Chains A and B, each alone.
Chain A
Amino acid sequence: MTILEVSSQTWIITLVGWSVVFVALFLLIFIFNNIPKLLKMNFKREKTAKPQKVQTETAGDKYISGDETAAIAMAIHMFFEEQHDEESNIITIKRIERRYSPWSSKIYGLRNFPN
Protein backbone atom coordinates (compact mmCIF):
# COMPACT_ATOMS: atom_id res chain seq x y z
CA MET A 1 0.00 0.00 0.00
CA THR A 2 1.27 3.49 -0.75
CA ILE A 3 0.18 6.72 0.91
CA LEU A 4 1.33 9.98 -0.71
CA GLU A 5 3.75 8.10 -3.00
CA VAL A 6 5.42 6.48 0.02
CA SER A 7 5.11 2.80 0.89
CA SER A 8 3.41 1.74 4.10
CA GLN A 9 6.68 0.24 5.34
CA THR A 10 8.34 3.66 5.14
CA TRP A 11 5.45 5.17 7.11
CA ILE A 12 5.84 2.48 9.75
CA ILE A 13 9.60 3.12 10.07
CA THR A 14 8.90 6.83 10.37
CA LEU A 15 6.25 6.54 13.06
CA VAL A 16 7.93 3.80 15.06
CA GLY A 17 11.34 5.48 14.77
CA TRP A 18 10.16 8.87 15.99
CA SER A 19 8.15 7.26 18.79
CA VAL A 20 11.18 5.27 19.97
CA VAL A 21 13.25 8.47 20.14
CA PHE A 22 10.51 9.96 22.33
CA VAL A 23 10.29 6.83 24.48
CA ALA A 24 14.07 6.74 25.04
CA LEU A 25 14.25 10.38 26.07
CA PHE A 26 11.01 10.10 28.08
CA LEU A 27 12.54 7.28 30.13
CA LEU A 28 15.59 9.44 30.77
CA ILE A 29 13.29 12.27 31.88
CA PHE A 30 11.43 9.93 34.21
CA ILE A 31 14.66 8.70 35.77
CA PHE A 32 16.22 12.11 36.18
CA ASN A 33 13.03 13.60 37.59
CA ASN A 34 13.20 10.99 40.33
CA ILE A 35 16.92 10.78 41.00
CA PRO A 36 17.03 13.94 43.18
CA LYS A 37 14.21 12.47 45.28
CA LEU A 38 16.12 9.20 45.66
CA LEU A 39 19.25 11.05 46.69
CA LYS A 40 17.28 13.11 49.21
CA MET A 41 15.85 9.93 50.74
CA ASN A 42 19.37 8.91 51.63
CA PHE A 43 20.02 12.28 53.20
CA LYS A 44 16.97 11.92 55.44
CA ARG A 45 18.24 8.65 56.80
CA GLU A 46 21.58 10.20 57.57
CA LYS A 47 19.85 13.14 59.19
CA THR A 48 18.51 11.01 62.02
CA ALA A 49 21.89 9.43 62.66
CA LYS A 50 24.24 12.39 62.24
CA PRO A 51 22.34 15.62 62.37
CA GLN A 52 25.42 17.87 62.35
CA LYS A 53 26.98 16.41 59.21
CA VAL A 54 23.70 16.54 57.31
CA GLN A 55 23.34 20.24 57.96
CA THR A 56 26.47 20.97 55.98
CA GLU A 57 25.42 18.66 53.13
CA THR A 58 21.98 20.20 52.75
CA ALA A 59 23.57 23.61 52.85
CA GLY A 60 25.63 22.50 49.85
CA ASP A 61 22.54 21.47 47.92
CA LYS A 62 20.62 24.63 48.73
CA TYR A 63 19.26 26.37 45.68
CA ILE A 64 20.75 29.80 45.05
CA SER A 65 19.30 32.01 42.34
CA GLY A 66 21.46 33.72 39.74
CA ASP A 67 20.94 37.16 41.31
CA GLU A 68 22.07 35.94 44.72
CA THR A 69 25.11 34.25 43.18
CA ALA A 70 26.01 37.51 41.43
CA ALA A 71 25.61 39.49 44.68
CA ILE A 72 27.80 37.03 46.59
CA ALA A 73 30.42 37.08 43.83
CA MET A 74 30.44 40.90 43.88
CA ALA A 75 30.78 41.00 47.66
CA ILE A 76 33.72 38.56 47.58
CA HIS A 77 35.30 40.49 44.73
CA MET A 78 35.03 43.79 46.61
CA PHE A 79 36.34 42.21 49.79
CA PHE A 80 39.42 40.83 48.06
CA GLU A 81 39.96 44.06 46.16
CA GLU A 82 40.10 45.96 49.43
CA GLN A 83 42.47 43.48 50.98
CA HIS A 84 45.64 45.27 50.05
CA ASP A 85 48.86 46.18 51.78
CA GLU A 86 48.99 49.66 53.25
CA GLU A 87 51.44 51.53 51.13
CA SER A 88 52.80 55.05 51.20
CA ASN A 89 51.93 55.60 47.54
CA ILE A 90 55.23 57.45 47.15
CA ILE A 91 57.26 55.64 44.55
CA THR A 92 60.76 57.10 44.26
CA ILE A 93 64.32 55.87 44.04
CA LYS A 94 65.74 55.91 47.49
CA ARG A 95 68.96 57.88 47.72
CA ILE A 96 71.68 56.01 49.54
CA GLU A 97 73.96 58.14 51.65
CA ARG A 98 77.02 55.91 51.33
CA ARG A 99 78.10 56.52 47.75
CA TYR A 100 81.29 54.51 47.81
CA SER A 101 81.11 51.20 46.05
CA PRO A 102 84.17 49.02 45.50
CA TRP A 103 82.95 47.45 42.24
CA SER A 104 85.33 49.47 40.05
CA SER A 105 87.91 50.30 42.64
CA LYS A 106 91.45 50.42 41.27
CA ILE A 107 92.97 49.11 44.45
CA TYR A 108 91.41 45.69 43.85
CA GLY A 109 92.66 45.50 40.27
CA LEU A 110 94.97 42.73 39.08
CA ARG A 111 97.44 45.15 37.58
CA ASN A 112 98.67 46.42 40.90
CA PHE A 113 102.33 45.71 40.95
CA PRO A 114 104.09 45.47 44.29
CA ASN A 115 106.29 48.49 44.91
Chain B
Amino acid sequence: MENKYRKSIVALAAVVLLLTLQAVFGWVDAWAADAPGAAASAGAEGGALEGLKSFWSFTGFANFHISNLVMIVVGLFFIFLAIKYDYEPLLLIPIGTGILLGNIPFVPGYNVGIYESGSVMNYLYFGVKQGIYPPLIFLGIGAMTDFSSLISNPKLMLLGAAAQLGIFATFLGASALGFNPQEAGAIGIIGGADGPTAIFLSAMLAPHLMGAIAIAAYSYMALVPVIQPPIIRLIIPKKERKIKMKPPRAVSKVEKILFPIIGLLLTLFIAPTALPLLGMLFFGNILKESGVTERLADTSRNALINIVTILLGVTVGASTQADVFLTIDSLKIFGLGALSFMVATAGGLVFARIMNLFLRGDNKINPMIGAAGVSAVPDSARVVQVEGQKNDTSNHLLMHAMAPNVSGVIGSAVGAGILLSFLL
Protein backbone atom coordinates (compact mmCIF):
# COMPACT_ATOMS: atom_id res chain seq x y z
CA MET B 1 0.00 0.00 0.00
CA GLU B 2 2.79 2.33 1.07
CA ASN B 3 4.71 1.44 -2.07
CA LYS B 4 1.73 2.43 -4.17
CA TYR B 5 1.57 5.88 -2.56
CA ARG B 6 5.30 6.32 -2.96
CA LYS B 7 5.05 5.75 -6.73
CA SER B 8 2.18 8.22 -7.05
CA ILE B 9 4.07 10.84 -5.03
CA VAL B 10 7.19 10.45 -7.18
CA ALA B 11 5.15 10.74 -10.41
CA LEU B 12 3.35 13.82 -9.06
CA ALA B 13 6.63 15.39 -7.99
CA ALA B 14 8.08 14.87 -11.48
CA VAL B 15 5.07 16.56 -13.10
CA VAL B 16 5.20 19.46 -10.61
CA LEU B 17 8.94 19.89 -11.26
CA LEU B 18 8.40 20.05 -15.01
CA LEU B 19 5.55 22.54 -14.69
CA THR B 20 7.64 24.64 -12.29
CA LEU B 21 10.55 24.68 -14.71
CA GLN B 22 8.29 25.75 -17.55
CA ALA B 23 6.63 28.41 -15.36
CA VAL B 24 9.96 29.75 -14.07
CA PHE B 25 11.36 30.07 -17.57
CA GLY B 26 8.13 31.67 -18.68
CA TRP B 27 8.49 34.30 -15.90
CA VAL B 28 12.12 34.80 -16.73
CA ASP B 29 11.08 35.53 -20.32
CA ALA B 30 8.45 38.01 -19.22
CA TRP B 31 10.79 39.65 -16.68
CA ALA B 32 13.62 39.91 -19.18
CA ALA B 33 11.32 41.60 -21.66
CA ASP B 34 9.67 44.01 -19.16
CA ALA B 35 12.63 44.95 -16.96
CA PRO B 36 13.70 48.62 -17.31
CA GLY B 37 16.95 48.85 -19.22
CA ALA B 38 16.82 45.18 -20.07
CA ALA B 39 18.82 45.70 -23.23
CA ALA B 40 21.50 47.62 -21.38
CA SER B 41 21.97 44.93 -18.72
CA ALA B 42 22.86 42.27 -21.26
CA GLY B 43 26.09 41.59 -19.42
CA ALA B 44 27.48 38.43 -17.88
CA GLU B 45 24.27 37.71 -15.92
CA GLY B 46 22.16 38.22 -19.01
CA GLY B 47 24.44 35.86 -20.96
CA ALA B 48 24.06 33.07 -18.42
CA LEU B 49 20.34 33.56 -18.40
CA GLU B 50 20.21 33.60 -22.17
CA GLY B 51 22.20 30.38 -22.23
CA LEU B 52 19.79 28.72 -19.86
CA LYS B 53 16.84 30.01 -21.83
CA SER B 54 18.36 28.81 -25.04
CA PHE B 55 19.01 25.38 -23.52
CA TRP B 56 15.45 25.21 -22.28
CA SER B 57 14.06 26.17 -25.68
CA PHE B 58 15.96 23.27 -27.24
CA THR B 59 14.64 20.64 -24.83
CA GLY B 60 11.76 18.37 -25.72
CA PHE B 61 9.77 19.75 -22.77
CA ALA B 62 9.66 23.26 -24.21
CA ASN B 63 8.53 22.03 -27.64
CA PHE B 64 6.13 19.46 -26.27
CA HIS B 65 2.67 19.10 -27.75
CA ILE B 66 -0.07 16.73 -26.64
CA SER B 67 -0.02 15.02 -30.08
CA ASN B 68 3.56 13.90 -29.38
CA LEU B 69 2.37 12.24 -26.21
CA VAL B 70 -0.39 10.42 -28.11
CA MET B 71 2.11 9.03 -30.60
CA ILE B 72 4.60 8.09 -27.88
CA VAL B 73 1.84 6.11 -26.16
CA VAL B 74 1.13 4.37 -29.51
CA GLY B 75 4.84 3.51 -29.83
CA LEU B 76 4.96 2.15 -26.29
CA PHE B 77 1.83 0.11 -27.01
CA PHE B 78 3.55 -1.49 -30.04
CA ILE B 79 6.56 -2.39 -27.93
CA PHE B 80 4.25 -3.79 -25.25
CA LEU B 81 2.36 -5.92 -27.81
CA ALA B 82 5.62 -7.30 -29.17
CA ILE B 83 7.13 -8.18 -25.80
CA LYS B 84 4.04 -9.29 -23.90
CA TYR B 85 2.11 -11.12 -26.62
CA ASP B 86 4.93 -11.85 -29.07
CA TYR B 87 2.96 -10.25 -31.94
CA GLU B 88 5.46 -9.84 -34.82
CA PRO B 89 8.25 -8.61 -32.49
CA LEU B 90 10.74 -8.29 -35.34
CA LEU B 91 8.52 -5.59 -36.82
CA LEU B 92 6.79 -4.03 -33.86
CA ILE B 93 9.93 -3.40 -31.79
CA PRO B 94 11.72 -1.41 -34.56
CA ILE B 95 8.49 0.37 -35.55
CA GLY B 96 7.54 1.12 -31.93
CA THR B 97 11.00 2.49 -31.19
CA GLY B 98 10.86 4.43 -34.47
CA ILE B 99 7.59 6.04 -33.33
CA LEU B 100 9.30 7.14 -30.11
CA LEU B 101 12.22 8.57 -32.11
CA GLY B 102 9.95 10.36 -34.55
CA ASN B 103 7.90 11.99 -31.83
CA ILE B 104 10.54 13.48 -29.61
CA PRO B 105 9.71 17.20 -29.81
CA PHE B 106 12.55 19.26 -31.28
CA VAL B 107 13.26 22.69 -32.72
CA PRO B 108 12.90 22.49 -36.48
CA GLY B 109 15.71 23.62 -38.74
CA TYR B 110 18.62 21.75 -37.16
CA ASN B 111 18.61 18.62 -39.33
CA VAL B 112 17.14 16.38 -36.68
CA GLY B 113 13.71 15.32 -37.94
CA ILE B 114 13.07 12.60 -40.48
CA TYR B 115 11.43 15.08 -42.85
CA GLU B 116 14.33 17.58 -42.71
CA SER B 117 16.58 17.10 -45.71
CA GLY B 118 20.15 16.40 -44.69
CA SER B 119 19.31 14.74 -41.35
CA VAL B 120 20.61 11.24 -40.65
CA MET B 121 17.06 9.93 -40.31
CA ASN B 122 16.19 11.53 -43.63
CA TYR B 123 19.05 9.67 -45.33
CA LEU B 124 17.86 6.37 -43.85
CA TYR B 125 14.29 7.24 -44.89
CA PHE B 126 15.48 7.58 -48.49
CA GLY B 127 15.30 3.79 -48.83
CA VAL B 128 11.63 3.88 -47.91
CA LYS B 129 10.77 6.95 -50.00
CA GLN B 130 12.37 5.56 -53.13
CA GLY B 131 11.05 2.02 -52.58
CA ILE B 132 14.53 0.49 -52.11
CA TYR B 133 13.94 -1.49 -48.93
CA PRO B 134 10.82 -3.47 -49.96
CA PRO B 135 12.50 -5.31 -52.88
CA LEU B 136 15.44 -6.21 -50.60
CA ILE B 137 13.00 -7.63 -48.07
CA PHE B 138 11.39 -9.61 -50.89
CA LEU B 139 14.82 -10.98 -51.83
CA GLY B 140 15.19 -12.32 -48.30
CA ILE B 141 11.65 -13.71 -48.28
CA GLY B 142 12.34 -15.49 -51.58
CA ALA B 143 15.53 -17.00 -50.18
CA MET B 144 13.73 -18.36 -47.12
CA THR B 145 10.47 -19.55 -48.72
CA ASP B 146 9.90 -23.15 -49.62
CA PHE B 147 7.34 -23.28 -52.42
CA SER B 148 7.05 -27.08 -52.40
CA SER B 149 3.62 -27.16 -50.72
CA LEU B 150 2.40 -24.87 -53.48
CA ILE B 151 4.02 -26.90 -56.27
CA SER B 152 2.59 -30.15 -54.90
CA ASN B 153 -0.97 -28.80 -54.89
CA PRO B 154 -1.09 -25.90 -57.38
CA LYS B 155 -4.86 -25.42 -57.21
CA LEU B 156 -4.40 -23.87 -53.75
CA MET B 157 -2.91 -20.85 -55.52
CA LEU B 158 -6.45 -19.77 -56.35
CA LEU B 159 -7.02 -19.07 -52.65
CA GLY B 160 -4.13 -16.61 -52.74
CA ALA B 161 -5.85 -14.86 -55.65
CA ALA B 162 -9.28 -14.90 -53.97
CA ALA B 163 -7.96 -13.24 -50.82
CA GLN B 164 -6.77 -10.29 -52.91
CA LEU B 165 -10.43 -9.27 -52.84
CA GLY B 166 -9.28 -7.29 -49.81
CA ILE B 167 -7.10 -5.04 -51.98
CA PHE B 168 -9.76 -4.26 -54.54
CA ALA B 169 -12.66 -3.92 -52.08
CA THR B 170 -10.60 -1.43 -50.06
CA PHE B 171 -9.72 0.39 -53.27
CA LEU B 172 -13.46 0.81 -53.89
CA GLY B 173 -14.10 1.78 -50.27
CA ALA B 174 -11.35 4.40 -50.27
CA SER B 175 -12.68 5.86 -53.52
CA ALA B 176 -16.15 6.05 -52.00
CA LEU B 177 -14.69 7.91 -48.98
CA GLY B 178 -13.36 10.60 -51.29
CA PHE B 179 -9.70 9.67 -51.73
CA ASN B 180 -8.34 10.26 -55.24
CA PRO B 181 -7.59 7.11 -57.35
CA GLN B 182 -3.85 7.11 -56.51
CA GLU B 183 -4.50 7.45 -52.80
CA ALA B 184 -7.25 4.82 -52.98
CA GLY B 185 -4.87 2.41 -54.71
CA ALA B 186 -2.20 2.95 -52.06
CA ILE B 187 -4.73 2.42 -49.27
CA GLY B 188 -6.20 -0.62 -51.02
CA ILE B 189 -2.91 -2.46 -50.88
CA ILE B 190 -3.26 -2.72 -47.09
CA GLY B 191 -5.69 -5.54 -47.95
CA GLY B 192 -2.76 -7.45 -49.44
CA ALA B 193 -1.52 -7.89 -45.86
CA ASP B 194 2.02 -7.40 -47.02
CA GLY B 195 4.05 -4.63 -45.42
CA PRO B 196 6.82 -4.24 -48.02
CA THR B 197 4.31 -4.23 -50.90
CA ALA B 198 2.22 -1.60 -49.08
CA ILE B 199 5.28 0.62 -48.58
CA PHE B 200 6.43 0.14 -52.17
CA LEU B 201 3.06 1.04 -53.68
CA SER B 202 2.33 3.96 -51.38
CA ALA B 203 5.83 5.38 -52.03
CA MET B 204 4.96 5.38 -55.72
CA LEU B 205 1.32 6.46 -55.61
CA ALA B 206 0.74 8.50 -52.45
CA PRO B 207 3.97 9.28 -50.54
CA HIS B 208 2.15 11.66 -48.16
CA LEU B 209 0.03 8.77 -46.85
CA MET B 210 2.86 6.27 -46.58
CA GLY B 211 3.39 6.53 -42.81
CA ALA B 212 -0.26 5.83 -42.05
CA ILE B 213 -0.51 3.05 -44.65
CA ALA B 214 2.66 1.31 -43.45
CA ILE B 215 1.67 1.52 -39.81
CA ALA B 216 -1.84 0.25 -40.59
CA ALA B 217 -0.49 -2.64 -42.69
CA TYR B 218 2.09 -3.73 -40.13
CA SER B 219 -0.18 -3.35 -37.11
CA TYR B 220 -2.96 -5.38 -38.69
CA MET B 221 -0.42 -7.98 -39.81
CA ALA B 222 0.67 -8.25 -36.20
CA LEU B 223 -2.98 -8.56 -35.18
CA VAL B 224 -3.74 -11.40 -37.61
CA PRO B 225 -4.05 -13.89 -34.68
CA VAL B 226 -6.75 -11.62 -33.23
CA ILE B 227 -8.58 -10.62 -36.43
CA GLN B 228 -8.81 -13.94 -38.29
CA PRO B 229 -10.12 -16.59 -35.85
CA PRO B 230 -13.60 -15.02 -35.31
CA ILE B 231 -14.06 -14.63 -39.09
CA ILE B 232 -13.00 -18.26 -39.65
CA ARG B 233 -15.51 -19.47 -37.04
CA LEU B 234 -18.21 -17.28 -38.55
CA ILE B 235 -17.82 -18.49 -42.13
CA ILE B 236 -16.71 -22.13 -41.80
CA PRO B 237 -19.13 -24.60 -40.16
CA LYS B 238 -17.66 -26.84 -37.46
CA LYS B 239 -18.02 -29.96 -39.60
CA GLU B 240 -15.94 -28.48 -42.42
CA ARG B 241 -13.27 -27.30 -39.99
CA LYS B 242 -12.49 -30.96 -39.27
CA ILE B 243 -11.75 -31.95 -42.87
CA LYS B 244 -8.40 -33.69 -43.14
CA MET B 245 -6.41 -33.07 -46.28
CA LYS B 246 -4.27 -35.70 -47.93
CA PRO B 247 -0.56 -35.15 -47.36
CA PRO B 248 1.25 -33.21 -50.09
CA ARG B 249 3.25 -35.25 -52.62
CA ALA B 250 7.02 -35.15 -52.68
CA VAL B 251 8.29 -32.44 -55.03
CA SER B 252 11.34 -33.06 -57.19
CA LYS B 253 14.32 -30.70 -57.21
CA VAL B 254 13.74 -29.90 -60.90
CA GLU B 255 10.23 -28.66 -60.12
CA LYS B 256 11.56 -26.53 -57.28
CA ILE B 257 14.10 -24.90 -59.59
CA LEU B 258 11.59 -24.43 -62.40
CA PHE B 259 9.02 -22.72 -60.17
CA PRO B 260 10.86 -19.42 -59.56
CA ILE B 261 12.08 -19.25 -63.16
CA ILE B 262 8.65 -19.82 -64.70
CA GLY B 263 6.97 -17.72 -62.01
CA LEU B 264 9.34 -14.83 -62.68
CA LEU B 265 8.86 -14.89 -66.45
CA LEU B 266 5.11 -15.41 -66.38
CA THR B 267 4.09 -12.93 -63.68
CA LEU B 268 6.43 -10.21 -64.88
CA PHE B 269 5.27 -10.49 -68.46
CA ILE B 270 1.73 -9.96 -67.14
CA ALA B 271 2.58 -7.17 -64.69
CA PRO B 272 6.05 -5.70 -65.44
CA THR B 273 5.43 -2.91 -62.92
CA ALA B 274 5.76 -5.50 -60.15
CA LEU B 275 9.32 -6.21 -61.33
CA PRO B 276 11.19 -4.85 -58.28
CA LEU B 277 9.08 -6.97 -55.92
CA LEU B 278 8.43 -10.19 -57.82
CA GLY B 279 11.80 -10.08 -59.57
CA MET B 280 13.61 -10.02 -56.25
CA LEU B 281 11.27 -12.59 -54.67
CA PHE B 282 11.90 -15.14 -57.38
CA PHE B 283 15.59 -14.23 -57.59
CA GLY B 284 15.91 -15.02 -53.88
CA ASN B 285 14.17 -18.33 -54.46
CA ILE B 286 16.46 -19.21 -57.35
CA LEU B 287 19.43 -18.54 -55.05
CA LYS B 288 17.92 -20.97 -52.55
CA GLU B 289 16.77 -23.73 -54.87
CA SER B 290 19.68 -23.74 -57.30
CA GLY B 291 21.75 -25.35 -54.56
CA VAL B 292 24.98 -23.79 -55.85
CA THR B 293 24.67 -20.31 -54.31
CA GLU B 294 24.15 -21.25 -50.70
CA ARG B 295 26.35 -18.39 -49.46
CA LEU B 296 24.28 -15.78 -51.30
CA ALA B 297 21.01 -17.38 -50.21
CA ASP B 298 22.24 -17.48 -46.63
CA THR B 299 23.17 -13.78 -46.67
CA SER B 300 19.84 -12.82 -48.25
CA ARG B 301 17.70 -14.71 -45.76
CA ASN B 302 19.70 -13.73 -42.67
CA ALA B 303 22.07 -10.76 -42.66
CA LEU B 304 20.54 -8.72 -45.47
CA ILE B 305 16.89 -9.09 -44.50
CA ASN B 306 17.74 -8.38 -40.86
CA ILE B 307 19.60 -5.16 -41.70
CA VAL B 308 16.85 -3.96 -44.02
CA THR B 309 14.13 -4.86 -41.50
CA ILE B 310 15.86 -2.75 -38.87
CA LEU B 311 16.20 0.25 -41.20
CA LEU B 312 12.71 -0.12 -42.63
CA GLY B 313 11.03 -0.60 -39.25
CA VAL B 314 12.72 2.28 -37.49
CA THR B 315 12.28 4.77 -40.34
CA VAL B 316 8.65 3.83 -40.99
CA GLY B 317 8.03 4.26 -37.27
CA ALA B 318 9.82 7.61 -37.22
CA SER B 319 7.80 8.78 -40.22
CA THR B 320 4.75 8.97 -37.96
CA GLN B 321 5.75 12.41 -36.70
CA ALA B 322 2.63 13.64 -34.92
CA ASP B 323 2.10 16.79 -37.00
CA VAL B 324 2.15 14.76 -40.23
CA PHE B 325 0.49 11.60 -38.95
CA LEU B 326 -2.38 12.61 -36.69
CA THR B 327 -4.98 13.57 -39.27
CA ILE B 328 -8.52 12.53 -40.12
CA ASP B 329 -7.17 10.77 -43.23
CA SER B 330 -5.01 8.54 -41.01
CA LEU B 331 -8.08 7.55 -39.01
CA LYS B 332 -9.93 6.72 -42.23
CA ILE B 333 -6.95 4.66 -43.40
CA PHE B 334 -6.92 2.71 -40.14
CA GLY B 335 -10.65 2.00 -40.47
CA LEU B 336 -10.30 0.90 -44.10
CA GLY B 337 -7.25 -1.21 -43.19
CA ALA B 338 -9.15 -3.19 -40.56
CA LEU B 339 -12.00 -3.70 -43.00
CA SER B 340 -9.64 -4.80 -45.77
CA PHE B 341 -8.09 -7.53 -43.59
CA MET B 342 -11.54 -8.84 -42.75
CA VAL B 343 -12.70 -8.77 -46.37
CA ALA B 344 -9.49 -10.47 -47.55
CA THR B 345 -9.87 -13.24 -44.98
CA ALA B 346 -13.54 -13.69 -45.82
CA GLY B 347 -12.73 -13.73 -49.57
CA GLY B 348 -10.27 -16.59 -49.13
CA LEU B 349 -12.61 -18.57 -46.87
CA VAL B 350 -15.68 -18.23 -49.08
CA PHE B 351 -13.68 -19.15 -52.18
CA ALA B 352 -12.33 -22.25 -50.43
CA ARG B 353 -15.88 -23.36 -49.66
CA ILE B 354 -16.85 -22.76 -53.28
CA MET B 355 -13.83 -24.79 -54.43
CA ASN B 356 -14.96 -27.67 -52.23
CA LEU B 357 -18.23 -27.86 -54.18
CA PHE B 358 -16.20 -28.94 -57.23
CA LEU B 359 -13.77 -31.26 -55.47
CA ARG B 360 -14.47 -34.90 -54.76
CA GLY B 361 -13.35 -37.43 -52.14
CA ASP B 362 -10.00 -36.93 -50.51
CA ASN B 363 -9.23 -34.04 -52.86
CA LYS B 364 -11.46 -31.82 -50.73
CA ILE B 365 -9.65 -29.04 -48.92
CA ASN B 366 -10.14 -27.77 -45.41
CA PRO B 367 -11.75 -24.39 -46.15
CA MET B 368 -9.99 -22.80 -43.19
CA ILE B 369 -6.79 -22.62 -45.27
CA GLY B 370 -8.52 -19.96 -47.38
CA ALA B 371 -7.77 -17.54 -44.52
CA ALA B 372 -4.07 -18.02 -45.22
CA GLY B 373 -4.57 -16.50 -48.69
CA VAL B 374 -3.88 -13.09 -47.15
CA SER B 375 -0.15 -12.95 -47.47
CA ALA B 376 0.87 -12.26 -43.85
CA VAL B 377 3.54 -14.97 -43.93
CA PRO B 378 3.61 -17.13 -41.87
CA ASP B 379 1.23 -15.77 -39.25
CA SER B 380 -2.01 -16.47 -41.09
CA ALA B 381 -0.88 -20.06 -41.84
CA ARG B 382 -0.09 -20.44 -38.14
CA VAL B 383 -3.57 -19.17 -37.23
CA VAL B 384 -5.10 -21.83 -39.50
CA GLN B 385 -2.93 -24.52 -37.87
CA VAL B 386 -4.04 -23.40 -34.37
CA GLU B 387 -7.71 -23.31 -35.37
CA GLY B 388 -7.37 -26.75 -36.98
CA GLN B 389 -5.86 -28.14 -33.79
CA LYS B 390 -8.71 -26.72 -31.74
CA ASN B 391 -11.18 -28.80 -33.75
CA ASP B 392 -9.09 -31.94 -34.15
CA THR B 393 -5.74 -32.33 -32.43
CA SER B 394 -4.55 -34.78 -35.08
CA ASN B 395 -5.25 -32.39 -37.95
CA HIS B 396 -2.09 -30.57 -39.05
CA LEU B 397 -2.88 -27.87 -41.59
CA LEU B 398 0.29 -25.80 -41.47
CA MET B 399 1.93 -27.25 -44.60
CA HIS B 400 -1.33 -27.00 -46.56
CA ALA B 401 -1.93 -23.43 -45.39
CA MET B 402 1.55 -22.38 -46.47
CA ALA B 403 0.51 -22.91 -50.12
CA PRO B 404 -2.17 -20.17 -50.22
CA ASN B 405 0.01 -18.12 -47.90
CA VAL B 406 2.95 -17.87 -50.29
CA SER B 407 0.68 -17.58 -53.31
CA GLY B 408 -0.88 -14.63 -51.46
CA VAL B 409 2.55 -12.95 -51.52
CA ILE B 410 2.72 -13.46 -55.28
CA GLY B 411 -0.92 -12.41 -55.70
CA SER B 412 -0.56 -9.19 -53.70
CA ALA B 413 2.60 -8.24 -55.59
CA VAL B 414 0.83 -8.85 -58.91
CA GLY B 415 -2.12 -6.80 -57.60
CA ALA B 416 0.26 -3.98 -56.66
CA GLY B 417 1.79 -4.13 -60.14
CA ILE B 418 -1.63 -3.89 -61.76
CA LEU B 419 -2.65 -0.93 -59.61
CA LEU B 420 0.64 0.76 -60.51
CA SER B 421 0.11 0.27 -64.22
CA PHE B 422 -3.43 1.69 -64.00
CA LEU B 423 -2.74 4.58 -61.67
CA LEU B 424 0.85 5.74 -62.16
Contacts and interface: CB of A to CB of B under 8 A. Distances in A.
B415 A21 contact: yes
A25 B410 contact: yes
Interface string B381-424: 00000000000000000000000000100110011001100110
Interface residues of B, number: 43
Contacts of A17: 167-168, 171, 415, 418-419, 422
A31 B410 CA distance: 16
A18 B160 contact: no
Given A24-B266, A25-B407, A32 B254 contact: no
Interface string B113-156: 00000000000000000000000000000000000001100110
Interface stretch (B36-44, B245-253, B295-303, B311-319): B245-253
A112 to B, nearest CB: 63
Prevailing SS type, chain A contact patch: helix
Contacts of B271: 20, 24
Contacts of B157: 25-26, 28-29
Interface string A40-55: 0000000000000000
B57 interface: no
Interface stretch (B68-76, B227-235, B256-264): B256-264
Contact of B165 (A18, A25, A27, A66): A18
A33 interface: yes
Contacts of A27: 266, 270
Interface string B251-291: 01011001100110011001100000000000000000000
Given A10-B181, A13-B423, A36-B255, A25 B176 contact: no
A85 interface: no
Chain A, interface size category, equals 35 or more
Contacts of B249: 63
Interface string A1-26: 00011110111011111101111111
Contact of A35 (B161, B185, B258): B258
B49 interface: no
B158 A28 contact: no
Contacts of A4: 172, 176
A39 interface: yes
B252 A33 contact: no
A65 interface: yes
Nearest to A57: B252
A54 to B, nearest CB: 14
B255 A32 contact: yes
Nearest to B170: A14
Contacts of A16: 418, 422
B168 A31 contact: no
A51 to B, nearest CB: 20
Contact of B263 (A28, A64, A65): A28
A5 B418 contact: no
Contacts of A20: 270-271, 414, 418
A28 B262 contact: yes
Nearest to A66: B247
B187 interface: no
A86 interface: no
A31 to B, nearest CB: 6
Contacts of A15: 168
Interface in A37-94: 39, 61-66
B176 A5 contact: yes
Given A25-B157, A25-B411, A10 B270 contact: no
Nearest to A18: B168
A32 B151 contact: yes
B79 interface: no
B172 A39 contact: no
B103 interface: no
Smallest CB-CB A-B distances: 4 pairs: A32-B154, A29-B154, A17-B418, A14-B168
Interface of A: 4-7, 9-11, 13-18, 20-29, 31-33, 35-36, 39, 61-66
16 contacts: A5-B175, A5-B176, A6-B175, A6-B176, A13-B171, A17-B415, A18-B164, A21-B161, A21-B414, A24-B271, A25-B158, A29-B155, A39-B254, A64-B250, A65-B247, A66-B247
